[in-house]
Structure 1
Amino acid sequence: MVLYVLQRLAVLAATLVAASLIVFAVMNILPGNAAQTMLGSTATPEAVAALAQKLGLDQPAPVRYAHWIGGALRGDFGLSYAYGSPIAPLIATSLAVSAPLAIMAMALAAGISLAAGVYAADRRGRTGDAIVMGASQVGLAVPNFWLAILLVIVFAVNLRLAPAGGFPGWDQPMRALGALILPAVALGVVQAAILTRVTRSAVLEALNEDFMRTARAKGVSRRSALWRHALPNALVPILTIMGLQFANLIAGAIVVENVFVLPGLGRLMLQSISNRDTLVVENCVMLTAMIVIALNFVVDLACAAIDPRLRGPAA
């Protein structure tokens, strides 16, 4: 297991380096200029050049990359071109909204999908299975933004059970959690639909294994065999999808955050792109890539702990 962990750490480090190079290269080949955007189209070339020099935009790409990575390793992400303030607090404030939102959405999706997927697998080919699969198909077809708007109309405008938008801050924890409920539902329903189908398929495969027949022959009840034997042995593909979904929830909530006017990471990225604030975008995208890579690393370790065969012959 130690060798497997070391191998995965080496892959993680190499992937982070490759991701940083790709992010930096993409951001620097995009058209436009932050200095020109900040000064406006009427600014003189001399003023644009002076501001670009002040911001360090006139330096060669390798030098800017080295400064960016060196600062990031020290915890210094630089200054935002548009806001004129350190980037680290901006990202931390946004992540304090996006991370809890993603956790709530993922918890909702996992709770629904595990129960529904196991139920559908246990009733394969029957009415219950058809209902669950039909509902999951509807969930896949519903766009997040449409569901978000519908939730606002029904629960915020008509029933007045939840706020329509905005975020009061974590100094008011109950109101803050209340502000995240509808966005979490809007994000979690689609993820639950995907995960339900994966859970059903994985559990069905486990139900056909020899150990299930052995458990039933020993007198284990069908329900107990389903939850204590089939589901644990079906967790590898389920955990893999959950890891990818959680990363997507943090990075892909831009539309929902804008519908509910939440100051999350997606909204910060969208505003930074509009302002051509490339350094903020670089750090946000790199942070997202780090989260995805780290989650994949954790999922790999969890799957290897569940199924030792995944560690390889040398592990």
Structure 2
Amino acid sequence: MRFFLSRVLSAVAALLLLTMATFLLVRLMPGDVTTSLTGVDGASQETKAAIAAEYGLDKPLPEQYVRWLGHVLEGDLGTTALTGQPVTEALGEKMVPSLQIALIAVVISVLLAVVLGTVAALRRGRAADKAASGVALVGTSLPDFVVGLLLLVFVARQAGLATFGYEPLSAGLWEWGRHMVLPVTALSLGLIGLLTRLTRTSVSETLQQEFVRTARSKGVQGRRMLWRHVLRPSLIPIITTAGLQLVAVVGGVVVIEVVFSIPGMGKLIFDGMRQRDYAVIQAATLVIGCMAIAVNVFVDLVYRYLDPRMRDS
């Protein structure tokens, strides 16, 4: 319980620092802050004064922060200049395809990497090891957007897959899948390469541990040996890395959504940066930062559960 409370308190402190950094993001942007917040360019002095009064920009900075934080806690992140709708509503609509792509990519990457890395460790130096190492090398060498472009050129039409856009699950599983295969593949390859290498190293090190040799001398073999004595301790660094990479994957979605013209959070951020819609950039920074903090807390808790040394301490 003490460990859990300490992680929660650390997360709260990190959230406060995140809100301060996000608040200052717009205030430190070059140009007029009223333009940054509203997207209204070339307004008269009277209009700027009215906007400043509406947003509380005529108040001292600490008072502005407290007022802004109150709005954030109420779910009010401002209005996007791109469409005129509330930023919370715009992000809510765009997050669905983004999170689907990111989560599916991470799950597929972990499953494939654990299989490839384990086979490579058990067949060290053989053909299976070399094949898995080759996949890992290709995955870690090619950027996500390059993989996406290669898939568009060489795979999409031949396989009958959708090359752009997004269809929700309500449109049917087939249509949803056709639109998800390419972006998920492009996003997964690099993570598969990273986790395959990590799994191979972790399993190889575990196989050399004294407790594994002791279990073998007692006649433990097969699946019981693999799962209970080899894979379970080997999964600790893999799950930790996968959890931390989830945030990086969400960042990678920004590029992938531009490549495949997917109307997700990444494309919203890209359009916001291009149109200088700082309300969108500010809100997206806050949301992604909150996700990063939540994932870190979750990874700490999972790590403590899997590692008996952490539980004992």
Fold match, TM over 0.5? yes
Alignment of 1:64-143 (within 5 A): 64-143=64-143
Counterpart code for 1:252: G
Match of 2:57?
A: 58
Q: Are residues 1:16 and 2:27 paired? A: no
Match of 1:210?
A: 210
Distance 1:83 1:62 in 2: 30
Distance 2:85 2:61 in 1: 23
* Aligned-partner SS, 2:155: helix
Distance 1:234 1:251 in 2: 27
* Aligned-partner SS, 1:171: helix
Distance 2:137 2:32 in 1: 44
1:44 to partner: Cα distance: 5.5
1:54 to partner: Cα distance: 6.5
Counterpart code for 1:27: V
Match of 2:308?
A: 308
Distance 1:251 1:51 in 2: 36
Distance 2:257 2:230 in 1: 37
Q: Do the aligned partners of 1:207 and 1:230 also contact (CA within 8 Å) in 2?
A: yes
* Aligned-partner SS, 1:253: helix
Match of 1:182?
A: 182
Q: Do the aligned partners of 1:77 and 1:88 also contact (CA within 8 Å) in 2?
A: yes
Distance 1:190 1:95 in 2: 22
Counterpart code for 1:92: G
- CA 1:308–1:72 in 2, change beyond 3 Å: closer, same or farther? farther
1:76 to partner: Cα distance: 2.4
Kindly provide the CA deviation profile for residues 5-38 of structure 1, in whole angstroms up to 9, marking residues without a partner as x.
1111111111111122122223321213465474
Match of 1:191?
A: 191
1:171 to partner: Cα distance: 2.9
Kindly provide the CA deviation profile for residues 39-76 of structure 1, in whole angstroms up to 9, marking residues without a partner as x.
44xx3552662564366273343333223321221222
Distance 2:208 2:3 in 1: 30
Distance 2:159 2:131 in 1: 30
Match of 1:171?
A: 170
Distance 2:31 2:167 in 1: 35
1:301 to partner: Cα distance: 0.7
Distance 1:243 1:284 in 2: 20
Distance 2:27 2:308 in 1: 43
* Aligned-partner SS, 1:125: coil
Q: Do the aligned partners of 1:236 and 1:303 also contact (CA within 8 Å) in 2?
A: yes
Counterpart code for 2:20: L
Q: Are residues 1:227 and 2:243 paired? A: no
Kindly provide the CA deviation profile for residues 231-284 of structure 1, in whole angstroms up to 9, marking residues without a partner as x.
101121111111011122122211110011111111111111222222221111
Alignment of 1:232-251 (within 5 A): 232-251=232-251
The answer to which of 208-217 and 18-27 deviates more is 18-27
Match of 1:6?
A: 5
Match of 1:282?
A: 282
Counterpart code for 1:11: S
Q: Are residues 1:29 and 2:28 paired? A: yes
- CA 1:25–1:34 in 2, change beyond 3 Å: closer, same or farther? closer
Counterpart code for 2:2: L
- CA 1:47–1:189 in 2, change beyond 3 Å: closer, same or farther? farther
Match of 1:255?
A: 255
Q: Do the aligned partners of 1:34 and 1:81 also contact (CA within 8 Å) in 2?
A: no
The answer to which of 12-21 and 53-62 deviates more is 53-62
Q: Do the aligned partners of 1:80 and 1:86 also contact (CA within 8 Å) in 2?
A: yes
Identity %: 30
1:227 to partner: Cα distance: 3.0
Q: Do the aligned partners of 1:16 and 1:290 also contact (CA within 8 Å) in 2?
A: yes
1:86 to partner: Cα distance: 1.1
TM-score, normalising length: structure 1? 0.90
Distance 2:53 2:151 in 1: 47
1:90 to partner: Cα distance: 0.7
Q: Do the aligned partners of 1:206 and 1:212 also contact (CA within 8 Å) in 2?
A: yes
- CA 1:272–1:44 in 2, change beyond 3 Å: closer, same or farther? closer
Gaps of 5+ in 2: none
- CA 1:34–1:304 in 2, change beyond 3 Å: closer, same or farther? same
Distance 1:223 1:311 in 2: 26
TM-score, normalising length: structure 2? 0.90
Counterpart code for 2:116: A
1:311 to partner: Cα distance: 4.6
Match of 2:266?
A: 266
Gaps of 5+ in 1: none
Distance 1:51 1:279 in 2: 18
